[in-house]
A and B are shown apart, each in its own frame.
Chain A
Amino acid sequence: MSAATAIGYNFAYLDEQSKRMIRRAILKGVAIPGYQVPFGGREMPLPHGWGTGGMQVTASVIGEADKLKVIDQGADDTTNAVSIRRFFAHTAGVETTELTAEATLIQTRHRIPERPLQADQILIYQVPIPEPLRFIEPRESETRKMHALSEYGAMQVKLYEDVARFGHIATSYDYPVMVNNRYMMDPSPIPKFDNPKMSMMPALQLFGAGFEKRIYAVPPFTQVESLDFDDHPFEVQSWEDACSICGSDHSFLDEVIIDDNGSKMFVCSDTDYCRERVTEGFVGEAPAQLETEQ
Protein backbone atom coordinates (compact mmCIF):
# COMPACT_ATOMS: atom_id res chain seq x y z
CA MET A 1 0.00 0.00 0.00
CA SER A 2 1.13 3.50 -0.72
CA ALA A 3 2.38 5.75 2.04
CA ALA A 4 -0.56 8.10 1.52
CA THR A 5 -3.14 5.51 2.62
CA ALA A 6 -5.50 6.80 5.28
CA ILE A 7 -4.86 5.54 8.81
CA GLY A 8 -7.77 4.34 10.92
CA TYR A 9 -10.04 3.24 8.08
CA ASN A 10 -10.64 -0.21 6.69
CA PHE A 11 -9.35 -0.95 3.20
CA ALA A 12 -11.57 1.02 0.77
CA TYR A 13 -13.40 2.74 3.66
CA LEU A 14 -16.38 0.37 4.12
CA ASP A 15 -16.31 -2.15 6.97
CA GLU A 16 -16.10 -5.84 6.07
CA GLN A 17 -19.66 -6.68 7.14
CA SER A 18 -21.09 -4.00 4.84
CA LYS A 19 -18.89 -5.19 1.99
CA ARG A 20 -20.10 -8.78 2.44
CA MET A 21 -23.72 -7.63 2.36
CA ILE A 22 -23.09 -5.62 -0.82
CA ARG A 23 -21.11 -8.49 -2.36
CA ARG A 24 -24.01 -10.88 -1.81
CA ALA A 25 -26.37 -8.35 -3.42
CA ILE A 26 -24.01 -8.07 -6.41
CA LEU A 27 -23.95 -11.87 -6.84
CA LYS A 28 -27.76 -11.92 -6.85
CA GLY A 29 -27.86 -9.01 -9.25
CA VAL A 30 -25.58 -10.82 -11.67
CA ALA A 31 -27.72 -13.96 -11.41
CA ILE A 32 -30.90 -12.02 -12.29
CA PRO A 33 -29.75 -9.57 -14.98
CA GLY A 34 -31.53 -6.22 -14.84
CA TYR A 35 -33.40 -6.98 -11.60
CA GLN A 36 -32.96 -4.40 -8.82
CA VAL A 37 -31.65 -6.02 -5.65
CA PRO A 38 -32.39 -4.03 -2.47
CA PHE A 39 -29.35 -3.58 -0.22
CA GLY A 40 -28.55 -1.85 3.04
CA GLY A 41 -27.10 1.39 1.69
CA ARG A 42 -24.44 2.87 3.95
CA GLU A 43 -23.56 6.46 4.67
CA MET A 44 -20.56 7.55 2.66
CA PRO A 45 -18.54 10.67 3.46
CA LEU A 46 -20.23 12.67 0.71
CA PRO A 47 -23.86 13.48 -0.01
CA HIS A 48 -26.28 11.23 -1.86
CA GLY A 49 -26.38 12.23 -5.49
CA TRP A 50 -22.60 12.39 -5.68
CA GLY A 51 -22.17 8.76 -6.53
CA THR A 52 -22.51 7.02 -3.17
CA GLY A 53 -24.14 3.96 -4.75
CA GLY A 54 -21.37 3.54 -7.28
CA MET A 55 -18.79 4.12 -4.55
CA GLN A 56 -20.26 1.42 -2.32
CA VAL A 57 -20.13 -1.04 -5.19
CA THR A 58 -16.57 0.02 -6.03
CA ALA A 59 -15.53 -0.28 -2.37
CA SER A 60 -16.91 -3.82 -2.21
CA VAL A 61 -15.34 -4.97 -5.47
CA ILE A 62 -11.95 -3.23 -5.42
CA GLY A 63 -8.73 -4.99 -4.41
CA GLU A 64 -5.06 -4.09 -4.14
CA ALA A 65 -4.34 -5.30 -7.66
CA ASP A 66 -7.00 -3.12 -9.28
CA LYS A 67 -6.40 -0.01 -11.32
CA LEU A 68 -9.24 2.46 -10.95
CA LYS A 69 -10.54 5.00 -13.45
CA VAL A 70 -13.37 7.37 -12.56
CA ILE A 71 -15.26 9.45 -15.09
CA ASP A 72 -17.98 12.03 -14.78
CA GLN A 73 -19.82 12.67 -18.07
CA GLY A 74 -16.87 11.05 -19.81
CA ALA A 75 -14.27 13.33 -18.25
CA ASP A 76 -11.53 12.22 -15.85
CA ASP A 77 -10.86 15.73 -14.59
CA THR A 78 -14.20 16.99 -13.30
CA THR A 79 -14.88 17.49 -9.59
CA ASN A 80 -16.88 14.31 -8.98
CA ALA A 81 -14.39 12.10 -10.82
CA VAL A 82 -11.34 13.67 -9.20
CA SER A 83 -12.71 13.40 -5.66
CA ILE A 84 -13.88 9.80 -6.01
CA ARG A 85 -10.57 8.77 -7.57
CA ARG A 86 -8.65 10.46 -4.75
CA PHE A 87 -10.97 8.90 -2.18
CA PHE A 88 -10.03 5.37 -3.27
CA ALA A 89 -6.37 6.22 -3.79
CA HIS A 90 -6.43 7.49 -0.21
CA THR A 91 -8.52 4.80 1.52
CA ALA A 92 -7.48 1.75 -0.53
CA GLY A 93 -4.06 2.81 -1.77
CA VAL A 94 -4.89 1.50 -5.24
CA GLU A 95 -3.35 2.72 -8.44
CA THR A 96 -5.51 5.06 -10.48
CA THR A 97 -5.41 5.80 -14.15
CA GLU A 98 -7.11 7.92 -16.78
CA LEU A 99 -6.53 5.35 -19.52
CA THR A 100 -9.62 3.30 -20.32
CA ALA A 101 -7.46 0.52 -21.73
CA GLU A 102 -5.42 0.16 -18.53
CA ALA A 103 -8.22 0.31 -15.96
CA THR A 104 -9.60 -2.86 -14.36
CA LEU A 105 -12.43 -0.96 -12.65
CA ILE A 106 -14.15 2.06 -14.13
CA GLN A 107 -16.65 3.97 -12.03
CA THR A 108 -18.77 6.18 -14.22
CA ARG A 109 -21.31 8.90 -13.94
CA HIS A 110 -23.48 9.11 -17.05
CA ARG A 111 -21.21 7.84 -19.82
CA ILE A 112 -19.74 4.66 -21.24
CA PRO A 113 -16.19 5.17 -22.55
CA GLU A 114 -15.83 5.35 -26.34
CA ARG A 115 -13.09 2.71 -26.42
CA PRO A 116 -14.78 -0.71 -26.34
CA LEU A 117 -14.37 -2.36 -22.94
CA GLN A 118 -12.68 -5.75 -22.63
CA ALA A 119 -13.34 -8.96 -20.73
CA ASP A 120 -12.33 -8.77 -17.05
CA GLN A 121 -12.93 -5.04 -16.86
CA ILE A 122 -15.79 -3.96 -14.60
CA LEU A 123 -17.86 -0.86 -15.33
CA ILE A 124 -19.63 0.55 -12.27
CA TYR A 125 -22.43 3.06 -12.88
CA GLN A 126 -23.63 5.68 -10.44
CA VAL A 127 -27.41 5.60 -10.55
CA PRO A 128 -29.73 8.32 -9.21
CA ILE A 129 -33.10 6.62 -9.86
CA PRO A 130 -32.88 2.89 -10.54
CA GLU A 131 -36.57 2.33 -11.28
CA PRO A 132 -37.37 3.01 -14.97
CA LEU A 133 -41.10 3.02 -14.20
CA ARG A 134 -40.90 5.45 -11.27
CA PHE A 135 -42.15 8.51 -13.14
CA ILE A 136 -45.05 6.50 -14.49
CA GLU A 137 -45.93 4.70 -11.25
CA PRO A 138 -44.70 6.22 -7.99
CA ARG A 139 -45.62 3.27 -5.75
CA GLU A 140 -42.80 0.78 -5.20
CA SER A 141 -45.34 -1.97 -4.41
CA GLU A 142 -46.85 -1.45 -7.88
CA THR A 143 -43.58 -1.24 -9.83
CA ARG A 144 -42.46 -4.46 -8.10
CA LYS A 145 -45.61 -6.12 -9.42
CA MET A 146 -45.11 -4.67 -12.88
CA HIS A 147 -41.62 -6.17 -12.99
CA ALA A 148 -42.88 -9.48 -11.58
CA LEU A 149 -45.52 -9.72 -14.29
CA SER A 150 -43.35 -8.22 -17.03
CA GLU A 151 -46.11 -5.62 -17.39
CA TYR A 152 -44.28 -2.93 -19.29
CA GLY A 153 -47.01 -1.52 -21.52
CA ALA A 154 -47.03 1.79 -19.63
CA MET A 155 -43.50 2.57 -20.81
CA GLN A 156 -44.44 1.88 -24.43
CA VAL A 157 -47.34 4.32 -23.96
CA LYS A 158 -44.95 6.96 -22.65
CA LEU A 159 -42.70 6.53 -25.69
CA TYR A 160 -45.75 6.54 -27.94
CA GLU A 161 -46.87 9.85 -26.46
CA ASP A 162 -43.48 11.23 -27.55
CA VAL A 163 -44.11 9.99 -31.07
CA ALA A 164 -47.64 11.47 -31.08
CA ARG A 165 -46.45 14.84 -29.84
CA PHE A 166 -43.04 15.28 -31.49
CA GLY A 167 -43.05 12.74 -34.30
CA HIS A 168 -40.12 10.87 -32.79
CA ILE A 169 -39.11 9.36 -29.44
CA ALA A 170 -37.82 12.42 -27.59
CA THR A 171 -36.16 10.60 -24.68
CA SER A 172 -32.46 11.26 -25.17
CA TYR A 173 -30.84 9.97 -21.98
CA ASP A 174 -31.91 7.49 -19.29
CA TYR A 175 -33.45 5.61 -22.22
CA PRO A 176 -35.16 2.42 -20.97
CA VAL A 177 -33.79 -0.96 -22.03
CA MET A 178 -34.85 -4.59 -21.76
CA VAL A 179 -32.18 -6.86 -20.32
CA ASN A 180 -32.00 -10.49 -21.40
CA ASN A 181 -35.54 -10.15 -22.75
CA ARG A 182 -36.99 -10.07 -19.26
CA TYR A 183 -36.39 -7.06 -17.02
CA MET A 184 -36.87 -3.45 -17.96
CA MET A 185 -33.86 -1.56 -16.70
CA ASP A 186 -32.84 2.04 -16.22
CA PRO A 187 -29.39 2.35 -17.80
CA SER A 188 -28.69 5.38 -15.53
CA PRO A 189 -28.65 8.82 -17.19
CA ILE A 190 -26.22 7.85 -19.95
CA PRO A 191 -27.09 9.40 -23.34
CA LYS A 192 -28.97 6.97 -25.54
CA PHE A 193 -25.90 7.22 -27.78
CA ASP A 194 -24.27 4.79 -25.30
CA ASN A 195 -27.16 2.31 -25.07
CA PRO A 196 -25.99 0.04 -27.92
CA LYS A 197 -22.61 -0.38 -26.19
CA MET A 198 -24.32 -2.13 -23.25
CA SER A 199 -25.48 -5.06 -25.32
CA MET A 200 -23.12 -8.04 -25.56
CA MET A 201 -20.38 -6.00 -23.84
CA PRO A 202 -17.46 -8.28 -22.86
CA ALA A 203 -17.07 -6.40 -19.55
CA LEU A 204 -19.24 -6.83 -16.46
CA GLN A 205 -21.60 -3.91 -15.75
CA LEU A 206 -22.66 -3.14 -12.17
CA PHE A 207 -25.08 -0.41 -11.11
CA GLY A 208 -25.29 1.15 -7.66
CA ALA A 209 -28.03 3.52 -6.46
CA GLY A 210 -27.07 4.84 -3.04
CA PHE A 211 -30.09 6.97 -2.25
CA GLU A 212 -32.60 4.37 -3.46
CA LYS A 213 -30.48 1.50 -2.09
CA ARG A 214 -30.58 -0.75 -5.13
CA ILE A 215 -27.91 -2.75 -6.93
CA TYR A 216 -28.32 -4.31 -10.35
CA ALA A 217 -26.11 -5.84 -12.97
CA VAL A 218 -25.66 -6.86 -16.57
CA PRO A 219 -23.29 -9.82 -16.96
CA PRO A 220 -20.89 -9.87 -19.93
CA PHE A 221 -22.39 -10.93 -23.27
CA THR A 222 -25.95 -10.21 -22.29
CA GLN A 223 -28.60 -8.92 -24.65
CA VAL A 224 -29.62 -5.33 -23.85
CA GLU A 225 -32.27 -3.85 -26.14
CA SER A 226 -33.48 -0.27 -26.22
CA LEU A 227 -37.27 -0.01 -26.39
CA ASP A 228 -38.77 1.18 -29.66
CA PHE A 229 -41.50 0.59 -32.22
CA ASP A 230 -41.37 -1.23 -35.55
CA ASP A 231 -42.17 2.02 -37.39
CA HIS A 232 -40.06 4.19 -35.06
CA PRO A 233 -36.89 2.17 -34.54
CA PHE A 234 -34.36 3.15 -31.87
CA GLU A 235 -31.86 5.73 -33.08
CA VAL A 236 -28.85 7.35 -31.44
CA GLN A 237 -27.87 11.01 -31.57
CA SER A 238 -25.61 12.23 -34.34
CA TRP A 239 -23.84 15.53 -34.96
CA GLU A 240 -23.11 17.55 -38.05
CA ASP A 241 -19.96 18.84 -36.38
CA ALA A 242 -16.81 17.00 -35.40
CA CYS A 243 -14.68 17.37 -32.27
CA SER A 244 -12.71 20.65 -32.43
CA ILE A 245 -9.75 19.05 -30.67
CA CYS A 246 -9.35 15.61 -32.26
CA GLY A 247 -11.67 15.82 -35.25
CA SER A 248 -13.67 12.75 -34.23
CA ASP A 249 -17.00 12.52 -36.05
CA HIS A 250 -18.17 9.35 -34.32
CA SER A 251 -17.92 10.07 -30.59
CA PHE A 252 -20.39 11.71 -28.22
CA LEU A 253 -19.83 15.48 -28.38
CA ASP A 254 -20.33 18.16 -25.77
CA GLU A 255 -21.31 21.64 -26.90
CA VAL A 256 -19.17 24.34 -25.29
CA ILE A 257 -19.96 28.05 -25.48
CA ILE A 258 -16.67 29.89 -25.94
CA ASP A 259 -17.48 33.60 -25.89
CA ASP A 260 -20.18 36.15 -25.17
CA ASN A 261 -21.41 36.09 -28.77
CA GLY A 262 -22.71 32.56 -28.74
CA SER A 263 -19.79 31.05 -30.61
CA LYS A 264 -19.53 27.40 -29.75
CA MET A 265 -17.30 24.42 -30.21
CA PHE A 266 -17.96 20.72 -29.99
CA VAL A 267 -15.54 18.48 -28.10
CA CYS A 268 -15.48 14.78 -27.23
CA SER A 269 -17.14 14.14 -23.90
CA ASP A 270 -14.70 11.23 -23.36
CA THR A 271 -11.48 13.07 -22.48
CA ASP A 272 -9.28 9.96 -22.54
CA TYR A 273 -10.50 9.00 -26.02
CA CYS A 274 -9.91 12.54 -27.29
CA ARG A 275 -6.42 12.72 -25.78
CA GLU A 276 -5.54 9.35 -27.27
CA ARG A 277 -6.64 10.47 -30.74
CA VAL A 278 -4.57 13.64 -30.42
CA THR A 279 -1.46 11.60 -29.57
CA GLU A 280 -2.20 9.48 -32.63
CA GLY A 281 -1.98 12.66 -34.71
CA PHE A 282 -5.64 13.48 -35.32
CA VAL A 283 -6.50 17.18 -35.25
CA GLY A 284 -9.78 19.03 -35.31
CA GLU A 285 -10.76 22.26 -36.97
CA ALA A 286 -10.90 25.37 -34.79
CA PRO A 287 -14.47 26.57 -34.28
CA ALA A 288 -15.72 29.57 -36.23
CA GLN A 289 -15.87 32.74 -34.13
CA LEU A 290 -18.96 34.83 -34.46
CA GLU A 291 -18.44 38.57 -35.03
CA THR A 292 -19.48 40.87 -32.25
CA GLU A 293 -22.42 43.03 -33.23
CA GLN A 294 -21.58 46.67 -32.65
Chain B
Amino acid sequence: MAVSSHELIAGFADPVQASQQVFRSALKAMSEPGTLMQIDYLQQAPKGLDLSTWQLALSVFDPDTRVWLSPSLAASDAVVSNLRFHCQCPLVETPAEADFAIALHRELPLLIELNWGTAEYPDRSTTLVVQVPALSDEAYWTLSGPGIEHTRALRIAGLTEPFRSDLIRSRQRFPLGIDTFWCCDNRLTALPRTTFIEETC
Protein backbone atom coordinates (compact mmCIF):
# COMPACT_ATOMS: atom_id res chain seq x y z
CA MET B 1 0.00 0.00 0.00
CA ALA B 2 1.39 3.39 -0.95
CA VAL B 3 1.40 6.35 1.39
CA SER B 4 -1.73 8.43 0.96
CA SER B 5 -0.68 11.98 1.72
CA HIS B 6 -4.21 13.15 2.56
CA GLU B 7 -4.26 10.69 5.48
CA LEU B 8 -1.05 11.97 7.07
CA ILE B 9 -1.18 13.66 10.44
CA ALA B 10 1.49 15.45 12.44
CA GLY B 11 3.92 13.51 14.61
CA PHE B 12 5.49 14.79 17.84
CA ALA B 13 6.05 18.54 17.97
CA ASP B 14 9.38 17.89 19.73
CA PRO B 15 10.32 14.37 18.61
CA VAL B 16 13.53 14.08 20.67
CA GLN B 17 11.98 14.93 24.04
CA ALA B 18 8.59 13.31 23.40
CA SER B 19 10.16 10.02 22.23
CA GLN B 20 12.30 9.98 25.36
CA GLN B 21 9.33 10.64 27.64
CA VAL B 22 7.18 7.99 25.95
CA PHE B 23 10.06 5.51 26.19
CA ARG B 24 10.41 6.22 29.92
CA SER B 25 6.69 5.54 30.37
CA ALA B 26 7.05 2.29 28.42
CA LEU B 27 10.14 1.41 30.47
CA LYS B 28 8.31 2.03 33.74
CA ALA B 29 5.36 -0.06 32.56
CA MET B 30 7.65 -2.91 31.48
CA SER B 31 9.85 -2.82 34.58
CA GLU B 32 6.90 -2.45 36.97
CA PRO B 33 4.37 -4.64 35.16
CA GLY B 34 0.74 -3.64 35.30
CA THR B 35 1.47 0.00 36.22
CA LEU B 36 -0.95 2.23 34.29
CA MET B 37 0.84 5.04 32.48
CA GLN B 38 -0.76 8.01 30.80
CA ILE B 39 0.96 9.52 27.79
CA ASP B 40 -0.17 12.84 26.38
CA TYR B 41 2.35 14.17 23.88
CA LEU B 42 -0.14 14.10 21.02
CA GLN B 43 -3.86 14.79 20.79
CA GLN B 44 -4.48 12.98 17.53
CA ALA B 45 -3.71 9.48 16.26
CA PRO B 46 -4.40 7.92 12.85
CA LYS B 47 -7.97 6.61 12.75
CA GLY B 48 -7.89 3.07 14.12
CA LEU B 49 -4.92 3.51 16.46
CA ASP B 50 -5.22 4.50 20.10
CA LEU B 51 -3.25 7.57 21.18
CA SER B 52 -0.95 5.45 23.33
CA THR B 53 -0.29 2.92 20.53
CA TRP B 54 0.56 5.73 18.14
CA GLN B 55 2.89 7.47 20.57
CA LEU B 56 4.61 4.19 21.40
CA ALA B 57 5.05 3.53 17.66
CA LEU B 58 6.55 6.99 17.08
CA SER B 59 8.91 6.42 19.99
CA VAL B 60 10.26 2.91 19.27
CA PHE B 61 9.55 1.95 15.63
CA ASP B 62 11.99 2.73 12.83
CA PRO B 63 13.33 1.12 9.64
CA ASP B 64 14.89 -1.65 11.78
CA THR B 65 11.61 -2.91 13.25
CA ARG B 66 9.38 -5.23 11.29
CA VAL B 67 5.76 -4.55 12.19
CA TRP B 68 2.71 -6.74 11.75
CA LEU B 69 -0.77 -5.23 11.82
CA SER B 70 -3.94 -7.15 12.58
CA PRO B 71 -6.29 -7.34 9.55
CA SER B 72 -8.46 -4.26 10.02
CA LEU B 73 -5.43 -2.10 10.92
CA ALA B 74 -3.54 -3.45 7.90
CA ALA B 75 -6.53 -2.51 5.74
CA SER B 76 -6.61 1.03 7.10
CA ASP B 77 -5.06 3.57 4.78
CA ALA B 78 -4.60 6.04 7.64
CA VAL B 79 -2.71 3.58 9.86
CA VAL B 80 -0.46 2.20 7.14
CA SER B 81 0.31 5.57 5.57
CA ASN B 82 1.23 7.19 8.87
CA LEU B 83 3.37 4.28 10.07
CA ARG B 84 5.20 4.22 6.75
CA PHE B 85 5.66 7.97 6.66
CA HIS B 86 6.63 8.61 10.29
CA CYS B 87 8.39 5.39 11.29
CA GLN B 88 9.45 3.95 7.90
CA CYS B 89 8.94 0.54 9.44
CA PRO B 90 8.64 -2.43 7.09
CA LEU B 91 5.20 -4.05 7.38
CA VAL B 92 5.20 -7.84 7.27
CA GLU B 93 2.58 -10.39 6.28
CA THR B 94 2.73 -12.80 9.21
CA PRO B 95 3.12 -12.14 12.93
CA ALA B 96 6.00 -14.64 13.14
CA GLU B 97 8.22 -12.32 11.09
CA ALA B 98 7.47 -9.28 13.22
CA ASP B 99 9.49 -7.54 15.93
CA PHE B 100 6.29 -5.77 16.94
CA ALA B 101 2.75 -6.94 16.29
CA ILE B 102 -0.09 -4.48 16.75
CA ALA B 103 -3.52 -6.06 17.14
CA LEU B 104 -7.03 -5.08 18.06
CA HIS B 105 -8.32 -7.15 20.98
CA ARG B 106 -10.84 -8.91 18.73
CA GLU B 107 -8.23 -9.71 16.10
CA LEU B 108 -5.53 -11.15 18.32
CA PRO B 109 -3.24 -13.71 16.71
CA LEU B 110 -2.65 -16.94 18.63
CA LEU B 111 0.44 -16.64 20.79
CA ILE B 112 2.04 -19.56 18.93
CA GLU B 113 1.77 -17.57 15.69
CA LEU B 114 4.23 -15.01 17.07
CA ASN B 115 7.99 -15.32 17.17
CA TRP B 116 9.09 -16.66 20.57
CA GLY B 117 12.81 -16.24 20.03
CA THR B 118 15.23 -19.08 20.69
CA ALA B 119 16.68 -20.55 23.87
CA GLU B 120 20.01 -18.85 23.10
CA TYR B 121 18.40 -15.56 22.03
CA PRO B 122 15.06 -15.20 23.83
CA ASP B 123 15.21 -11.44 23.09
CA ARG B 124 14.48 -12.04 19.42
CA SER B 125 10.80 -12.50 20.16
CA THR B 126 7.84 -10.50 18.92
CA THR B 127 6.55 -7.80 21.23
CA LEU B 128 2.76 -7.77 21.12
CA VAL B 129 0.91 -4.44 21.32
CA VAL B 130 -2.81 -4.89 21.93
CA GLN B 131 -5.52 -2.25 21.81
CA VAL B 132 -8.17 -3.07 24.37
CA PRO B 133 -11.55 -1.49 25.23
CA ALA B 134 -10.72 -0.89 28.90
CA LEU B 135 -7.71 -0.91 31.18
CA SER B 136 -7.92 -0.40 34.93
CA ASP B 137 -6.45 -1.44 38.26
CA GLU B 138 -9.55 -3.40 39.30
CA ALA B 139 -8.66 -6.77 40.76
CA TYR B 140 -9.58 -9.05 37.86
CA TRP B 141 -6.01 -10.22 37.58
CA THR B 142 -3.49 -10.46 40.39
CA LEU B 143 0.01 -9.97 39.06
CA SER B 144 3.25 -11.03 40.66
CA GLY B 145 6.87 -11.44 39.59
CA PRO B 146 9.90 -9.19 38.97
CA GLY B 147 9.01 -5.51 39.19
CA ILE B 148 6.15 -6.12 41.61
CA GLU B 149 6.89 -5.89 45.34
CA HIS B 150 3.93 -7.98 46.51
CA THR B 151 1.07 -8.17 44.02
CA ARG B 152 -0.58 -5.70 41.66
CA ALA B 153 -4.17 -5.68 40.41
CA LEU B 154 -5.01 -5.24 36.76
CA ARG B 155 -8.05 -5.52 34.56
CA ILE B 156 -7.72 -5.81 30.80
CA ALA B 157 -11.13 -5.90 29.14
CA GLY B 158 -12.06 -7.66 25.92
CA LEU B 159 -9.81 -10.73 26.00
CA THR B 160 -11.25 -14.12 25.12
CA GLU B 161 -10.90 -17.09 27.46
CA PRO B 162 -8.57 -19.12 25.20
CA PHE B 163 -6.24 -16.15 24.80
CA ARG B 164 -6.18 -15.43 28.53
CA SER B 165 -5.30 -19.01 29.42
CA ASP B 166 -2.69 -19.16 26.62
CA LEU B 167 -1.06 -16.06 28.06
CA ILE B 168 -1.12 -17.42 31.61
CA ARG B 169 0.27 -20.78 30.47
CA SER B 170 2.99 -19.19 28.34
CA ARG B 171 4.86 -18.36 31.59
CA GLN B 172 5.91 -21.99 31.83
CA ARG B 173 8.13 -21.55 28.78
CA PHE B 174 10.29 -18.83 30.32
CA PRO B 175 12.84 -17.57 29.26
CA LEU B 176 10.95 -17.87 25.99
CA GLY B 177 7.84 -15.77 25.92
CA ILE B 178 5.92 -12.84 24.53
CA ASP B 179 6.22 -9.37 26.05
CA THR B 180 3.06 -7.33 25.75
CA PHE B 181 1.96 -3.71 25.78
CA TRP B 182 -1.72 -2.99 26.40
CA CYS B 183 -3.09 0.25 25.03
CA CYS B 184 -6.39 1.99 25.65
CA ASP B 185 -6.91 5.59 24.56
CA ASN B 186 -4.01 7.57 26.07
CA ARG B 187 -3.18 4.91 28.65
CA LEU B 188 -0.73 2.07 28.47
CA THR B 189 0.59 -0.76 30.56
CA ALA B 190 2.89 -3.71 29.94
CA LEU B 191 3.17 -7.33 30.95
CA PRO B 192 6.58 -8.87 30.24
CA ARG B 193 7.00 -12.64 30.00
CA THR B 194 8.05 -12.81 33.66
CA THR B 195 4.75 -11.64 35.14
CA PHE B 196 2.61 -14.35 36.68
CA ILE B 197 -1.10 -13.80 36.25
CA GLU B 198 -3.72 -15.17 38.58
CA GLU B 199 -7.36 -14.76 37.63
CA THR B 200 -9.28 -13.51 40.63
CA CYS B 201 -12.62 -12.91 38.88
Question: Chain A: residues with CB nearer than 8 A to chain B?
Answer: 10-11, 16-17, 19-21, 23-33, 35, 37-38, 60-64, 120, 144-145, 147-149, 180, 182-183, 200, 202, 204, 217-223
Contact = CB atoms under 8 A, between A and B. Distances in A.
The 6 closest A-B pairs by CB, nearest first: A31-B192, A148-B119, A219-B147, A222-B146, A28-B123, A219-B31
A30 B192 contact: yes
A182 B122 CA distance: 13
B175 A63 contact: no
B17 A11 contact: yes
B21 interface: yes
A149 B119 contact: yes
Contacts, number: 110
A145 B118 CA distance: 11
Contact of A220 (B31, B127, B177): B31
Interface of B: 15-17, 19-21, 23-24, 26-28, 30-32, 59-62, 64-65, 99, 118-123, 127, 146-149, 174-175, 177, 179, 192-194
A147 B20 CA distance: 32
13 contacts: A10-B16, A17-B62, A17-B64, A23-B27, A24-B99, A27-B26, A30-B192, A61-B20, A144-B121, A147-B120, A182-B175, A220-B147, A222-B147
Given A16-B16, A182-B174, A61 B27 contact: yes
Given A20-B62, A32-B193, 7 more contacts: A20-B64, A26-B27, A27-B26, A30-B147, A31-B192, A31-B193, A61-B27
Contacts of A35: 122-123, 175
Given A23-B23, A24-B65, A183-B175, A221 B146 contact: yes
Contacts of A33: 146, 194
B120 A31 contact: no
A69 B60 CA distance: 26
A37 B27 contact: no
